Amino acid sequence: MEISEIIPHIEALIFASDKALSVNDVTELVNNAFGFLEERIETDQVESALNGIQEKYATEFYPFELKQSGGGWQFLTKPEFHKTIAQLNGDKFLKRLSNAALESLAIIAYKQPITKGEVEAIRGVNSDYSIQKLLEKELIVISGRNETLPGKPLVYSTSKTFMDYFGINSTDDLPKIKEVLADQIVEATVIKPEDFTDNAVLDQVAENEEETPNLSEETGDYEAESNKEDAAPESPAE
């Protein structure tokens, strides 16, 4: 079967699905739909079809696009239509995570799998409420227990909903911590006399330099001031 023949069926599957579909999911569903037994469609054919669909909807003619997000492929509205579709969901659409929840979520995302105690050790505060809210929003999941720690506490990891929420396909797509820190580095601004546009300022600087005596020539070398505190004066003898 030609790829062009299965493209509409792949589009229909992704459009109708309430979750992101992986290449393997799409391959299996298409094969089941056509009842292919001997001439089954391979994953590389599906990948080629997906690339063609992605290129098709990338044009300005469509308000949505095909993207890899949440661990698979799905149709997403393009960013420029965010304000328009936000009206459909009202205040619910505008709800944001609290700073405490974002802190806990960031720690879990970069340190997963991680226990609640380890999250609290990094944050320095109790994180029961934050983790509970993240579980309710399905941004994190309980992924097991830490068998090496006393009491075998639960460990948490990010979910597929987390990847979908932030528009990434896996946690490997998260920005590297080094990249984030590099963006925060700000170089000091060096101000030189010649940077001033006022000539009067330059003339004043030059006059001051001529009038200031060269102490090293008149008095010889001198030691830098000591960093030690001055000794307290001795009390007079009685």
Q: Which of 168, 183, 198 is the last residue of a domain?
A: 183
Which tokens belong to 110?
A: 């970069």
Residue 94 lies in a domain: no
Residue type, 109: A
**Residue 67 shares a structural domain with residue 106:** no
Q: Is residue 56 part of a domain?
A: yes
How far apart CA 49 and CA 33 sit, in angstroms, is: 17
Residues 14 and 76 in one domain: yes
pLDDT digits (tens, 9 = 90+) for 9-45: 999 999 999 888 999 999 999 988 887 656 788 899 9
One domain, residues 106 and 30: no
Residues 150, 142: Cα–Cα separation, whole Å: 18
- The answer to whether residues 178 and 115 belong to one domain is yes
- The number of folded domains in the chain is 2
Distances (CA, A) of 31 to 14, 39, 43, 66, 74: 15, 9, 11, 21, 19
Q: Using H for helix, E for strand and C for coil, what is the string for the chain?
A: CCHHHHHHHHHHHHHHCCCCECHHHHHHHHHHHHCCCCCCCCHHHHHHHHHHHHHHHCCCCCCEEEEEECCEEEEEECHHHHHHHHHHHHHHHHCCCCHHHHHHHHHHHHHCCEEHHHHHHHHCCCCHHHHHHHHHCCCEEEEEECCCCCCCCEEEEECHHHHHHCCCCCHHHCCCHHHHHHHHCCCCCCCCHHHCCCHHHHHHHHHHHHHCCCHHHHHCCCCCCCCCCCCCCCCCCC
235 belongs to a structural domain: no
pLDDT of residue 54: 94
Same domain, 112 and 171: yes
Q: What is the pLDDT of residue 210?
A: 56
Q: Confidence class of residue 184 from pLDDT cuts 50, 70 and 90?
A: low
Closest residue by Cα to residue 158 from 113, 120, 96: 113
Q: Token digits for 150?
A: 């006393």
50 and 121 inside one domain: no
- Mean pLDDT for the chain overall: 78
- Is 229 domain-assigned? no
Question: Would 166 be classed as within a structural domain?
Answer: yes
Express each pLDDT in 223-235 by its tens digit: 434 344 444 444 4
Q: Is residue 103 part of a domain?
A: yes
Separation in Å, CA 144 to CA 100, 116, 155, 156, 201: 23, 12, 5, 7, 69
The reply to whether 171 falls in a domain is yes
Q: Are residues 165 and 115 in the same domain?
A: yes
93: in domain: no
CATH code for position 21 = 1.10.10.10
Instruction: Identify whether residues 177 and 105 lie together within a single domain.
Output: yes
Do residue 13 and residue 66 come from a single domain?
A: yes
Joined together, the tokens standing for residue 188 give 């000091």
pLDDT digits (tens, 9 = 90+) for 131-146: 999 999 889 999 999 9
Check whether residue 104 and residue 179 sit in a common domain.
yes
Q: Are residues 120 and 169 in the same domain?
A: yes
What is the domain range of residue 54? Answer: 3-80
168 shares a domain with 109: yes
